[in-house]
Structure formats: C-alpha cells, structure tokens
Amino acid sequence: MTPLFLGLSGSVLTADERALFVVADPVGYILFKRNCLDPAQLLALTESLRVLAGRDLPILIDQEGGRVARLQPPHWPVFPAAARFGALYNIAPLTALEAARLNGVALAMTLRASGVTVDCLPLIDVRSDVGHDIIGDRAFASDPMWVSAMGRATLDGLRSGGIVGVIKHIPGHGRATVDSHLELPVVTASRAELESDFEPFRRLQAAPMAMTAHVVYTELDAERCATLSPVVIDVIRSDIGFDGLLMSDDLGMAALGDSWRRAATSRCTARATSRRCRRSLARLGR
C-alpha cells in the first residue's frame, strides 16, 4: 500500500482513475463535495472503491458541520458548527456534552449509510482571539478544558455510530493568523503558551487518528511546519503522547508549497507505468 489518501475527480470512478488506483494502491480515499451528489450515488462510489481495492478501505470525509460540510441538504441533514455546542456548554455543560455526543452519533449514521468510514472530526483546536477565522466557529471554545470535553463527547458519539474520528489539527491550529490553505502560518507563541493548545490533544491522546497542522511553531522548529518537522512530530509522539495513526492535512494546501504535491505524485508514479496512469497523474499533479 502507498501511504496516501487520494482524492477523486467526480461522482463516479473514471477509467483513468481505475487504472491509476489499481497500481498506486493507496491506503484509502478522501471525498470532497464534488464526489457527493446523493446517498445512493455516494454509496455506489464508495462500494466501487472497495471492489477495486479488493479489501475494506478507510474512506475519509471532512463532515464537521457548519461551513465545513461535504454532504449538504437536501440529501443530507444540516449539522451545526462546533461553536454552538460551546455556547451551550457556557450555560449547561452536561447538556452540551450530551448534545455533542448525539451529534457525533448522527454524523456517524449519516456517513455509514453512504459507505464513509472515517470523519476528520473532532476539531479540537483552541480558539484564539488573534487566530484567523479559518478556525473561528469550527472550534468548540477558547478554553482548553471545554474543548477537550466536547471533543471527547464527539469522538465517543462517532465511535458509537461506527465511525472512526480524527483529532485535528495537532498540535493546535488556533493561534494561526493566516489560512494555511493560502499561505504558511507562523506561530511565535512561547512553549508555555503552546501548552494550552496541546492540552486537548494530550487529553484525547487515545484517539485512533490525528491530522497534523501545516503551521510553523517557532518555539519548536523555526524552519519547518508541524507536518514536515521531526521535532514537532517527536513532541506529538512523546510529549503529547499520541500513538495512533498520524496523517497530514491536505498536501495540496498552499502552506506546503508545490514540492509535497510533487513528491506524492512521484510516489504514485513509481508504481504507475501505463500511459493511462500517467495521464491521470498529470491531472492529479496540476
């Protein structure tokens, strides 16, 4: 298996994609809005990926609720942004935890019905007053303990509904002042200040999967963002204590530049030799 989760171009597998995926043999796939038309189509698509692989597959999606929702009405329910659970926690913590757990259950049932098995949720970044709105209402709250509690409730709900959760963006994206989809965020907070960002990840260290932040933390490694930094990865493994499957955020995000997209493409190229595969890779590498 190639250690990549690959994306697809549309709502059905193309002939080129079939040829590429057979030889590239990725660990799994990640779906975007362009792949999701309605439940029946999505179930057929996820089944076609499993048939092609000849095995069960992790099929991922970013279904957070609020503005990050690949599955949308009228075919799927609306899910609230995390900040709504934070607002409830402010007046009734136990009620908010149960609401977050039920939300995880509902998300899980919605995803499983279409063959999706991993949700890139919960987002347990701690909201910061100075942080860019790319996190904003996607975060539960600005208190690390509140975030930890609601993150755990969401993870428990997902698990109860049969879906694997991914804690993100480890070791914490809340202080980033720019959007990593567009440029590389640099966080200059001290190690003591970063401890509050690490706290939810430390408390949820037993989560099955985590997604790294494309963020530079100058106090840890001034040269490389967390995704690419052995120093930060060591902090994640040793200090935060996360021992589950660690995955990167999207390699196509501008924070990483073009080099990592090219590296991922060449990883597939090493396996793909046919003209048809090379045509697909050329598109993936655009």
Partner 1 sequence: MTPDAERRLAAAMAWPAPEYNDLDLAIAQRDELLAHIPG
Residues that bind partner 1 (CB under 8 A): 1-3, 27, 56, 58, 77, 80, 84-85, 87-88, 91-92, 95-96, 98-99, 102-103, 105-106, 108-110, 112-113, 117, 159-162, 164, 208-209, 243-246
- In the complex, minimum distance from the CB of residue 92 to partner 1, in angstroms, rounded to a whole number: 6
In residues, how long is the chain? 286
Give the shortest CB-209-to-partner 1 separation in angstroms.
Answer: 5
Q: Which is nearer to partner 1, 134 or 233 (CB)?
A: 233
Angle (deg, nearest 10), helices 275-284 and 15-24: 90
- Residue 202 and residue 272: Cα distance in Å, rounded? 40
Q: Which is nearer to partner 1, 51 or 113 (CB)?
A: 113
Residue 92 pairs with which residues in a beta bridge? none
- Count Cα neighbours of 116 within 13 Å in the Cβ-side half-sphere: 26
The beta-strand segments (E) located in 71-191 are: 118-119, 164-170, 186-187
Specify the DSSP class assigned to residue 166. E
CB of 56 to partner 1, least distance (A): 7
DSSP 3: E
Q: Do residues 67 and 135 touch, judged by C-beta distance below 8 A? A: no
Comparison of 95 and 274: residue with beta carbon closer to partner 1: 95
Q: Which residues of 25-34 are buried (b: 16+ CB within 10 A; e: fewer)?
A: ebbbbbbeee
Taking the complex as a whole, the smallest distance from the CB of residue 13 to partner 1 amounts, in Å, to: 22
Contacts of 82 (CB under 8 A, 6+ apart): 64, 65, 66, 122, 123, 137, 138, 139, 140, 150
**Which are the contacts of 45, defined by CB distance < 8 A and separation ≥ 6?**
8, 11, 12, 13, 31, 35, 115
CA angle 148, 109, 111 (to 5 degrees): 90
Residue 186 three-state SS: strand
Closer CB to partner 1, 109 or 145, in the complex: 109
Q: Which is nearer to partner 1, 58 or 136 (CB)?
A: 58
| Nearer to partner 1 (CB atom), residue 35 or residue 103 | 103
Least distance (Å) from partner 1 to the CB of residue 103? 5
Q: Which residues participate in catalysis according to the annotation?
A: 181, 249
Q: CB of 34 within 8 A of CB of 9?
A: yes
In the complex, what is the shortest distance from the CB of residue 90 to partner 1, in angstroms, rounded to a whole number? 9
CA 188 to chain centre: 24
